[in-house]
Structure 1
């Protein structure tokens, strides 16, 4: 079924379709009619896209995704390191989480255009809106992460610092994954259709990045927990990505081709290299540094791949039209009376 716009009664195309033009070299019947139906073209009125293409800038939004994940997962690992006697790693993660969440908020505000737009999001609390809840989450998490870092660096108010550390750690998982929920709440096919697995992709990517930061900045003697977190995050991200691409069907093409495909392949290669180096991180400082750098780069590439896949799926109408038709056909088949 062609996606060419139809007239009001639905019986004739509103504009001449490609099947009305003669095709050079094509076989024709005795009456001069074309016998081969051309491939359907997915177009819309006046050549406009079915969806509005996201106007977000790649560096801003991918950076917002990546830095938020690094901050949230870093606070979780910082809490564990603080409570289990790994002070150097804990301090490094507290500081990196504070810097990362500040950078994430700055990237978001820069893309919004005016700081007042972020402040306006805090005027209401709307539980059904991921953007509203995410704004309040950042407003609560940022001060907690900052207080934990300042207390650790200065030695002032240690009990308050511990409470802030635990508080940031409790909010960390939501900070690391709410951007996936935010993206999936849009109409962009590559994001919306991946709503089941995308939070797990972001969680795994964030965990691997935070573990990479711990391996990069912490001493070898405190690397055991970070090594385990790196392997866990890499496995979670890889498994969730594979499951998402397997379920998305034709929409998975957007993650495998073009700019998104290049970033996706880079992310997979860097994740594998980072995980491999992490196995030796407790014995070799060089391996820890290589693992940390690879995992951080892999996480950034993952967020860029997700961003560009979303843009590609919004630009091509087929990724919107075909899944909608398939769902409609399934509903019709399910509603048809049994004979």
Structure 2
């Protein structure tokens, strides 16, 4: 019986066709494999040492941070609608949106501070201004937007200093668009795969969702004669959100799976159904019936909340599964080797 040996010069006495088997192949009865059959390689399982995930998921609480995302978008887009309503002679709508924006940004800031644990931590983020940090820019943005939104609402409600109130309204609207979008940049700046890889489309998803939410609030709070722009904004926001999500899912490929599975998938599907129903009702019925306007507005608010919570949970799910971190890294490395 011939044997093989491994020495400094290499393998000696090796026998042909004696390569090691990899995985489990097809076998005949008795455990013998057909001549010429290829070994079957099992699907790779992405694991890490001690069964721990490759990434440490963020310690953010869903109610705090997803609520912070939702309320911030509602506030920012609401200030834009308030300025538009004031310019086009819709005072009731303008006042209602200013008040709702103040309430929403107050709730958003409270959710953020609650997640931070101590109010002083928000203050500490204002010690420096770091343009390359979305967290630093966002902190200063909130610090500037909050007083502007508050002044716009208080001065409109009291009727005091109309010129100062108009300036505060314009300032809140200018900052509001950034408030509606910057939380997407904040999420995409992390290493969480479902957020980081979606950095191109996620701001548009958030802006569309914020526009739909603010339009829903306007439909609830404004008179029938003044809700025309809100109905148009609802259709625009829903179209922007849906189109951005479709582009994002197509570009991300496998990394888009968390947006379709588990709790995140259920929330995103609910958001799509609610957005379609709310937009259809606002377009067809909200201009005729006060009840239909309130119902469609509530539906749009619920759709926007489902989107924010769905995006949040999709990120958490992707951080817990190593394949969403490992496979993109391998693809980028392979691409770099081919280009080198």
- Fold agreement, TM-score > 0.5: yes
Residue 132 (structure 1) aligned with residue 98 (structure 2): no
**1:8 aligns to what?**
none
- Which sections of structure 2, spanning at least 5 residues, go unmatched? 1-20
Residue 311 (structure 1) aligned with residue 316 (structure 2): yes
**1:3 aligns to what?**
none
Q: What's the CA shift for 1:46?
A: 2.1
What is the RMSD of the two structures over their aligned residues, measured on CA atoms? 2.0
Preserved contact between residue 28 and residue 35 of structure 1 (Cα < 8 Å): no
- When residues 212 and 328 of structure 1 are mapped into structure 2, their CA distance, relative to the original with a 3 A threshold, is same
**1:323 aligns to what?**
328
Residue 161 (structure 1) aligned with residue 165 (structure 2): yes
Residue 48 (structure 1) aligned with residue 52 (structure 2): yes
Preserved contact between residue 24 and residue 40 of structure 2 (Cα < 8 Å): no
Q: How many residues align?
A: 316
Listed one character per residue, the Cα deviations across residues 209-261 of structure 1 (whole Å, up to 9, x for unaligned) are 00000001100000111011000000000000111011111011100010000
SS at match of 1:39: coil
SS at match of 1:40: coil
Residue 63 (structure 1) aligned with residue 67 (structure 2): yes
Q: Which has the larger radius of gyration?
A: 2
Preserved contact between residue 209 and residue 295 of structure 1 (Cα < 8 Å): yes
Preserved contact between residue 25 and residue 40 of structure 2 (Cα < 8 Å): no
**1:39 aligns to what?**
43
The structure 1 residue matched to 2:109, chosen from 74, 89, 105, is 105
Preserved contact between residue 91 and residue 153 of structure 1 (Cα < 8 Å): yes
Structure 1 stretches of 4+ with a deviation exceeding 3 A read 19-30
Q: What's the CA shift for 1:36?
A: 2.2
1:285-296 equivalent positions in 2, closer than 5 A: 285-296=290-301
The structure 2 residue matched to 1:143, chosen from 147, 160, 165, is 147
Preserved contact between residue 29 and residue 35 of structure 1 (Cα < 8 Å): no
Listed one character per residue, the Cα deviations across residues 40-63 of structure 1 (whole Å, up to 9, x for unaligned) are 110112222110111111100100
Residue 298 (structure 1) aligned with residue 322 (structure 2): no
Query: How many angstroms apart in 1 are the aligned matches of 2:193 and 2:211?
Result: 26
The structure 2 residue matched to 1:184, chosen from 156, 172, 188, is 188
- When residues 155 and 28 of structure 1 are mapped into structure 2, their CA distance, relative to the original with a 3 A threshold, is farther
The structure 1 residue matched to 2:198, chosen from 173, 194, 199, is 194
Listed one character per residue, the Cα deviations across residues 10-45 of structure 1 (whole Å, up to 9, x for unaligned) are xxxxxxxxx989899896659xxx932222110112
Residue 94 (structure 1) aligned with residue 98 (structure 2): yes
**2:248 aligns to what?**
244
**1:222 aligns to what?**
226
Q: What's the CA shift for 1:331?
A: 1.6
Listed one character per residue, the Cα deviations across residues 165-207 of structure 1 (whole Å, up to 9, x for unaligned) are 0100000110000000000000000000000000000000000
